[in-house]
Every structure is written in structure tokens, then in C-alpha cells.
Amino acid sequence: MRPYVGLIAYLASVALVWATGRDAASYLLTTVVDISVYLLITLSLNLEAGIAGIPNFGRVLTVAFGAYIAGGVVGRVALWIAGLNYDYVADNPSAVSALARGLSQPQAALLLLMGLAASALVGAALGALTSLPARRLSADYLAITLLAFGDVAYYVGLNYEPLVGGTLGVATPPIYERLFGGGAARAIGAALVSAAVAAAAYALLLRLDKSPFGRILRIHREDPELVSVLGRDPAVLRAWTMAIGGAVSAVAGLLYALYVGAVHPRGFERITFTFYPWLIMVMGGMGNSRGVVEGVFIFIVIYRLLDIYKYEVGAVVGFDPVWLGYMLFGAMAMVIILTMPRGIRPEEVKPLAAGLATARREGQGA
């Protein structure tokens, strides 16, 4: 029962929303997108921190730049494809309105695929770039450095207006509207696209975890110097790991921006896209992709139910339930660390000898 507590909690939350007369269909579609986005972000973090032992406290960097691709790059390409002459940032309302009329369905599909590819490439490049300090810094100093890198996206987006409009932000091109239509059709289409991308990434990262690359990453987590002894360069391993993690998380940022329909730098805060994924990973089980899934379900259930029943909860506690959310998630982190330090679904312990033998063979064959 314990490994499926997240899924059970989610199904119970859907029943609760329906039983209390709220819009269960809207809750279901919204939470599917939320679960997909946070699953992508947390899986990428789990690859880096949970499996490889890289303390990435700057996850928000690649997530934000993935969203910037949706607003700052895909929008401009959409204008070019549709043959429209607008400044996408300065004339944003007019440009988006014109795209809503002039963009065809095949063009929208092409833009979506292009956006996914571009965000993955940019995220991979940023991930590899931010891995460079790991050559000279220990884990503690690397964590602080990556934490500082996480603020780069915020200040670049906020102060460089041509990117995504600076303090005003921009609306994203109406890709989902042109693909699926408006209203409920858009929500269903966005949920299906997000869930499909998340499922593909989960299958890919799960396969990667079970591969020789995943095994040597676990050896790197325990003892980076041992990786060198086995003939591998730890810096190269870290670069590849952070490139993959950056690509996956940037795709999450793009999907999030397209669903919300706008990009604003102030929306990409450290607590939302760094602290919460860390909490989910610790809660589910570091180093275990299946545990991450459980953690995501539990987190989204609490997060969304607090939002839906905020007035009822506020009347009981006597203050704004927004602050209750911060307090609750902070308390959850402490309780989990004290009572379940390995998470709801702990990482499976693998014999070290088998892993070392595999890594040694890889080193000899390299």
C-alpha cells in the first residue's frame, strides 16, 4: 500500500472535489498538467542530485529559460511563419491576436515540436555550462554556486526587455488554441501533450538509470575519485548529467508557459521551481524515479486542495492559507527527514561489487 500512497491520495482528492460540488473535470485536467510539469522537473533533479550526487540548488535556471523560449523565441518564429509584421514584445497583444487568426493547425504543430526541441537544446547547453564550476568546487561550494546561478534567469528576464518583455512579461503564442480549440478542448489537449511528454521522459530516465551510465553515476555519488580510478572523467560525467537534466527541466518550463499562456520573470521563483522539487524528491525517495512519482502526486494534491478550499481553510485557521501552504510544506520537509529519511519509496540497494565490476569493465572498454 505504501508505494502507491501518492496515487491513492490523488484519486481520493478527485473524489473529494466531486463530492463537494466543485468542478472535478477542471481539477482533473489542471492537475494532470501540474503533475506532468513537476514530474519532469523533479525527475531531472533526481538524476542530478539523487542519482549522481550533484547538489543542484539552481533548478529554476533551466526551467525559466525553457519558458523564455516559449515567449521570446517561439512567438517570433510564429510571426515569421505566419508572415506577420509585428514586434512580438512591443506589440504583444496585437501579435498574439493576429496569430490566433492567421496561424494554421499544421503550423501550430510545427511550432510546438520546434519549441520542445529548442528548449531541450538550450536547457542542455545551460546544464553543461553550469557544470563547469564542479571541476574546482567541492559539493558545498558547488551547491551555493548553483543556487546563485538560479537567480540569473530571474534578473536576465526582468531587466532585458527584448527577451520576454521585462517587468510586463508577454503572452505566449496561441499554439494550443490553434491545435485543439478553446475552452475545455484546449485544457484537454494541453493535458494530453504534457502527460505524453512526461511519460516519455520518465521512460527514458528510468531506462538511463538502469543502464551502465546510471550505475556509474551512483558510483560517482558515493566516491567521485573512484570514478577516476575506473578510467572515467568525473567532470565529463557531471556535464552529461546536468545537460540531460537541464534539457528535461527546460522542456517542463516550455510546457508550463504554453499552458499558462504567458511568461513573466517574476513567476519563476526559487521556492516554486527549486525548493518544491527538492521537497518532492526527498519525500518520494532520492535516487528512485518511482518514488519521485509518488512525491509529485502527494505534493500536487496538497497544493491544489489548499487553493480550491482556501476560503474554508482560512476561516478555520484565521489567516491567509497561502502562508499555511509555506508552513505546511516546510513542516513536511522536517517530518520526512526525521521519520522517513529515505522517503516514501526508498532507493533500492544494489550490491556494490556488481556495480564496481560493471564500471570497471566500462572503464577498460573506454
**What are the CA-CA distances from residue 196 to residues 36, 135, 240, 320 (Å)?**
9, 36, 24, 36
CB 282 within 8 A of CB 50: no
Q: Distance between CA atoms of 95 and 89, rounded to whole angstroms?
A: 8
Predicted TM-score (pTM) above 0.85 = yes
For residue range 314-334, what is the model confidence (pLDDT) as tens digits? 777 776 666 777 777 878 778
For residue range 23-54, what is the model confidence (pLDDT) as tens digits? 899 999 999 999 999 999 999 999 999 999 99
Average pLDDT, the chain: 87
Sign of CA dihedral 329, 332, 337, 343: negative
DSSP state of 89: T
Task: Tell me what pLDDT residue 151 has.
Answer: 85
For residue range 255-273, what is the model confidence (pLDDT) as tens digits? 999 999 999 998 898 889 9
For residue range 151-167, what is the model confidence (pLDDT) as tens digits? 888 889 999 999 999 88
CB 210 within 8 A of CB 42: no
- Length in residues, the chain: 366
Burial bucket for residue 196 (CB in 10 Å: 0-12, 13-18, 19+) = exposed
Q: Distance between CA atoms of 216 and 99, rounded to whole angstroms?
A: 48
